[in-house]
Amino acid sequence: MSTLAEITTDKVLFGYRDSREPSENYSLHCHNYYEIYYFIEGEVEYLVEGRHYEPSPHSLLLLTPNVFHGVKINSSKSYQRFALHFLPDILSLERRNLLLSAFPTTKKHSGKEIYYQNPEDYRIFTFFQTLVDCSKLPKELQEALLPIYIEALLSQITIMGYSRQAKTQVGDSTEIVSKIIAYLNDHLTDTITLDQISEEFFISKHHLNKVFKKATGTTVGDYLQYKRVTYAQQQLINGCSAGSAAAQSGFRDYSAFYKAYKKIMGHSPVIDRGPLPSFVKG
């Protein structure tokens, strides 16, 4: 993978990247940041909370914090994209709610679509190019202008969202899996077993595992573990102790929490207490 442009601050990671190595599986992850993913060219598939997308050139995905997603690269052709991760406090307080209004809510689907074709009707590509230009500026000037550029981009996305109904690719996610995902997110910090889910949705555990894995690319257990670890990471950032973060995120055993956290995040949970963690690159 080659990085053509990049901006990294404590609140923002912007990358303009080109990859040419195909992948066998989805690179699945979730994080605590808003993400705007702009697909330029290539042969890829995107998986977001059980919904499959085959993005067309110059299309856009809007991802809210804690959304489980990933990309699979299907060929060695050039795969170019912009990815902007940001924390909401980069935005001015008086405009924040408006500028984030194009994003769906994090737990249940809000009726707003996340996939937009032909965003060039609204010159979205040009706004990303201004971020590329910003990456070349001296550090002090870059930090001063970055919030303005991001707000300008979000303003245009907000206009796009209000003025047209997004075209989506529904994919092969079934209605039952969508309901199960909503149930898991609503009960993320509760004790959840396959038996409970099976009884709740009148479905056998075998069939539950089969349809969930087909739709989301992962198991129910791994999905819950990843979501809970990400939720715990946010509690640590907010100043909670590791033990408290483990309990609040649904782990009943600290050793299991520690093992899961280190596996997913690559480091001990105590490292993330207080300072912001590294961005996940898209």
Q: What is the pLDDT of residue 167?
A: 42
Q: What is the pLDDT of residue 175?
A: 77
Instruction: Specify the CATH superfamily of domain 2-163.
Output: Regulatory protein AraC (2.60.120.280)
Q: What is the pLDDT of residue 239?
A: 87
Angle ∠(245,247,253) on CA atoms, nearest 5: 115
Whether the model clears a pTM of 0.85, i.e. scores above it, the answer is: no
Average pLDDT of the chain? 88
> Is the pLDDT score of 166 beyond 50?
no
| Tokens (6 digits) for 18 | 């080109």
Domain boundaries, the chain: 2-163, 175-272
Long-range contacts of 58-61 (CB under 8 A, 24+ apart): 58/118, 58/119, 58/120, 58/125, 59/115, 59/116, 59/117, 59/118, 59/119, 60/36, 60/115, 60/116, 60/119, 60/124, 60/157, 61/35, 61/36, 61/37, 61/114, 61/115, 61/116
Q: What is the pLDDT of residue 44?
A: 96
Is residue 152 classed exposed, middle or buried when 0-12, 13-18 and 19+ CB atoms within 10 A define those classes?
Answer: middle
CATH number of 175-272: 1.10.10.60
* More confident position, 19 or 104: 19
**Residue 105 Cα distances to 10, 26, 102, 212, 264, angstroms:** 24, 24, 9, 22, 24
Note the pLDDT tens digit of each residue in 4-45: 999 999 999 999 999 999 998 888 999 999 999 999 999 999
| Tokens (6 digits) for 19 | 């990859």
